[in-house]
């Protein structure tokens, strides 16, 4: 009885935290099926907003831009970040400490500072703003997150596994692809998922480096807030939530094999 009473505050605290995190998401999903255009009153169940979403070319174009930028930047940032993490872990060279510290700058500096600096850089080198600048900017701020996560995975890596593979006749490439990559695979996957989330969710940096024809979904929603967000956004957010959860579940199942 005493144990139950002692655990009651912990249970209530956990329920409060999970409720604070997930109740707004549940409300969004529920009101994506609401007949009313206003999110304040429930008037009935409908799939109308999902149908209108499929006919809203502006929102679909913004969603396509967001997904394109997110996928490309995630793939490139994951590849560069993984190689950088492995190189920083294996090799010791002059200036490594300074370089290591510089990797954390995009993580700790305010996004508005990074957005302005990237805009100034693109203006200096005369690169027109558009999808290309969006991809470059997202790759830039995603790489440090991949490096940090993969390096954390490498901290528990046993170098004797690679030595055993080389003793058995494996060259550097086969050792890396058959031994090192599978071991650090969960870290790489975690870095990729975090990069995808950061990219598709970014507003501030994208605001500075996006061109007039490369509006992303967060920027589109941000501009719609001035005139009121339509229920189509709730429907789109629900679909994106389902897609994201499906990717996360698939990745987890792959890692558990």
pLDDT in tens, 81-104: 998 888 887 777 777 777 777 888
Supply the DSSP string of 28-79, one letter for each residue: HHHHTTBSSSSTTS---B--HHHHHHTT-HHHHHHHHHHHHHHHHHHHHHHH
User: What pLDDT is attached to residue 46?
Assistant: 84
Q: Say yes or no to pLDDT of 52 above 80.
A: yes
Look at residue 238 in the predicted model and tell me its pLDDT: 87
Please give the pLDDT value at position 77.
Answer: 93
Q: What backbone phi and psi angles, to 5 degrees, belong to 216?
A: -90, 170
Class of residue 234 by CB neighbours under 10 A (exposed 0-12, middle 13-18, buried 19+): buried
φ, ψ (nearest 5 deg) of residue 45: -95, 135
């Amino acid at each position: 009885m005493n144990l139950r009473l002692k655990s009651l505050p912990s249970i209530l605290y956990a329920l409060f935290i999970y409720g604070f995190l997930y109740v707004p998401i549940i409300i969004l999903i529920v009101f994506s099926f609401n007949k009313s255009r206003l999110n304040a009153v429930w008037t009935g169940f409908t799939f109308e907003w999902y149908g209108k979403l499929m006919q809203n070319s502006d929102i679909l174009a913004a969603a396509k831009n967001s997904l394109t930028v997110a996928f490309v930047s995630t793939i490139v940032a994951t590849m560069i970040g993984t190689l950088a993490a492995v190189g920083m872990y294996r090799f010791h060279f002059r200036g490594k400490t300074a370089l290591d510290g510089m990797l954390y700058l995009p993580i700790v500096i305010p996004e508005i500072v990074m957005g302005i600096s990237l805009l100034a850089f693109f203006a200096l080198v005369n690169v027109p703003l558009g999808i290309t600048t969006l991809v470059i900017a997202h790759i830039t701020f995603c790489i440090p997150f991949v490096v940090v996560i993969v390096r954390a995975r490498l901290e528990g890596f046993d170098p004797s596994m690679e030595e055993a593979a080389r003793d058995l006749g494996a060259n550097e490439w086969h050792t890396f692809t058959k031994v090192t990559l599978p071991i650090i695979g969960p870290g790489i996957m975690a870095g990729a998922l975090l990069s995808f989330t950061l990219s598709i969710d970014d507003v501030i940096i994208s605001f500075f480096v996006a061109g007039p024809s490369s509006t992303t979904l967060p920027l589109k929603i941000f501009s719609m807030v001035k005139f009121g967000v339509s229920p189509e956004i709730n429907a789109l957010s629900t679909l994106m939530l389902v897609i994201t959860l499906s990717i996360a579940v698939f990745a987890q199942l792959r890692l558990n094999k």
